[in-house]
């Protein structure tokens, strides 16, 4: 199992790691070192450090990382390689293909890669075009991304399936009622990137706070200094000092913070898979507000579990915030409960785990995967 951070594998796929082991597989993880590497080592049977930077377009460094994966695969001879996040989806697939090892890729969202026609984006698209046909199977977290890859000829339709995001652990994220104290709290949980809609959230908050005193706006997430799309810490502190938002910083466990909120907001225009923060919020029976964009709209049923607003539109977001703020505490709880039911029906992490186990099962008899799973609706 390969990703661009240990944090990603531990936080999003520890259930998959443990369930694959229970099903009789030996699971080895591959990722760069970070604060979660020790935790990942504790649950995988062997961990390998990968010298790959998740950002940056230095082709020499990427080729070195690809060679590193090739040498690792040649040494360990895995029966299958499970790739997550963009660079492993490309370089892990190529390295596995050269050794005739089946690669199963998870397209976790395309971010900015298809947003603007920059040189780096064109190179990334070319790399997807040459690598994904060599994958044994490609899993998509939303139908938009799946359709795009098929239409562009990156992968044949019969080698693809759709899964419900990264899934959500319904035993970890449980319904928690917000305080009924007369204050309606809205929280945005994300990396502090412009394309996550942080600036629109702040502007809508500024306008709404000028009209009423019974609302509070919270930002939760790390500043991603390595991204050109990052919002600076000084800017966030200025908003905090202005009194528009309360910045909570980044935390390893978001559940207690979400628990105190009446509504979780993600006005993203970033090309998401299915945003993890929205799945966590809905699992905790919180109404959500998000945008009519790729991935985001999959997480909400407008008017039933939350509201959908227009991307890059602070006024549309403000209208949605106002609608939630005008509801009674009981009405907000009802939206949240409907969201929890949606998670139980469609986004349980066990659906994702089952998809992987079904894909891997034929390997116990044959070195070649010859059975594909059907679509997960």
The string of pLDDT tens digits covering residues 26-58 is 999 999 999 999 999 999 999 999 998 766 667
pLDDT at position 166, please? 87
In the numeric block, which tokens belong to residue 92?
């892990």
106: β partners: 84, 139
| Mean local confidence (pLDDT), 58-67 | 86
The answer to whether the beta carbons of residues 112 and 196 sit under 8 Å apart is: no
Q: What DSSP string describes 132-199? A: GGGSSEEEESSHHHHHHHHHTTSS-GGGEEE--TT-B-TTTS---PPP-SS-EEEEEES-SBGGGTHH
| Mean local confidence (pLDDT), 63-73 | 95
Higher pLDDT, 251 or 185: 185
Is residue 269 over pLDDT 50?
yes
CA distance between the termini of the chain? 24
pLDDT at position 96, please? 97
pLDDT at position 56, please? 64
Which long-range contacts (C-beta less than 8 Å, at least 24 apart) are formed by 149-156? 149/107, 153/129, 154/128, 154/129
d(CA 32, CA 125): 23
The Cβ of residue 105 has, within 10 Å, a number of other Cβ atoms equal to 31
In the numeric block, which tokens belong to residue 354?
């089952």
The answer to whether the beta carbons of residues 215 and 262 sit under 8 Å apart is: no
pLDDT at position 110, please? 85
pLDDT at position 142, please? 92
pLDDT at position 323, please? 98
pLDDT at position 225, please? 74
pLDDT at position 55, please? 65
| Mean local confidence (pLDDT), 341-346 | 96
Query: How many whole angstroms from its chain centre is CA 43?
Result: 21
Average pLDDT of the chain? 92
- Which residues fall within 8 angstroms of residue 1, CB to CB, at 6 or more apart? 9, 13, 16, 17, 27, 28, 29, 30, 44, 82, 84
pLDDT at position 199, please? 97
Strands across the sheet containing 184-189? 246-247, 215-220, 184-189, 263-266, 288-291, 306-309
Higher pLDDT, 271 or 216: 216
pLDDT at position 238, please? 95
pLDDT at position 373, please? 39
Confidence of residue 363 (pLDDT cuts 50, 70, 90): confident
pLDDT at position 371, please? 36
Is residue 375 over pLDDT 50?
no
pLDDT at position 57, please? 64
Higher pLDDT, 270 or 91: 91
- What are the pLDDT digits (tens) for 123-176? 889 999 999 999 999 999 999 999 999 999 999 999 999 999 889 999 999 999
């Amino acid at each position: 199992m390969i990703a661009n951070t240990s944090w990603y594998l531990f936080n999003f796929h520890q259930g998959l790691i443990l369930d694959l082991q229970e099903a009789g597989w030996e699971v080895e993880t591959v990722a760069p070192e970070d604060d979660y590497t020790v935790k990942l080592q504790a649950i995988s049977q062997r961990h390998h450090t990968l010298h790959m930077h998740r950002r940056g377009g230095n082709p020499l460094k990427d080729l070195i990382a690809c060679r590193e994966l090739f040498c690792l695969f040649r040494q360990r001879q895995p029966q299958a390689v499970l790739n997550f996040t963009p660079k492993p989806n490309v370089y892990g697939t190529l390295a596995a293909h050269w050794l005739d090892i089946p690669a199963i890729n998870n397209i976790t969202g395309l971010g900015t890669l298809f947003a603007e026609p920059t040189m780096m984006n064109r190179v990334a698209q070319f790399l997807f075009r040459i690598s994904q046909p060599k994958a044994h199977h490609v899993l998509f977290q939303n139908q938009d991304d799946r359709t795009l890859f098929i239409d562009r000829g990156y992968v044949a339709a019969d080698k693809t399936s759709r899964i419900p995001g990264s899934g959500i652990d319904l035993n970890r994220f449980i319904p928690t009622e917000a305080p009924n104290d007369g204050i309606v709290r809205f929280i945005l949980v994300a990396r502090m990137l412009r394309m996550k809609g942080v600036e629109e959230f702040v502007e809508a908050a500024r306008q709404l706070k000028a009209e009423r005193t019974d609302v509070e706006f919270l930002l939760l997430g790390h500043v991603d200094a390595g991204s050109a799309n990052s919002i600076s810490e000084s800017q966030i502190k200025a908003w905090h000092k202005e009194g528009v938002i309360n910045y909570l910083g980044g935390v390893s466990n978001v559940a207690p913070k979400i628990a105190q909120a009446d509504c979780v907001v993600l006005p993203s225009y970033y090309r998401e898979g299915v945003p993890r923060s929205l799945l966590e919020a809905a699992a905790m029976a919180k109404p959500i507000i998000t945008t009519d964009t790729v991935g985001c709209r999959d997480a909400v049923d407008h008017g039933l579990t939350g509201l959908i607003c227009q991307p890059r539109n602070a006024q549309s977001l403000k209208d949605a915030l106002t609608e939630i703020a005008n509801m009674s505490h009981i009405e907000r709880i009802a939206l949240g409960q409907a969201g929890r039911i949606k998670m139980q029906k469609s986004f349980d992490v066990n659906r994702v785990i089952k998809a992987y186990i079904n894909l891997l099962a034929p390997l116990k008899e044959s070195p070649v995967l010859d059975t594909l799973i059907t679509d997960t609706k």
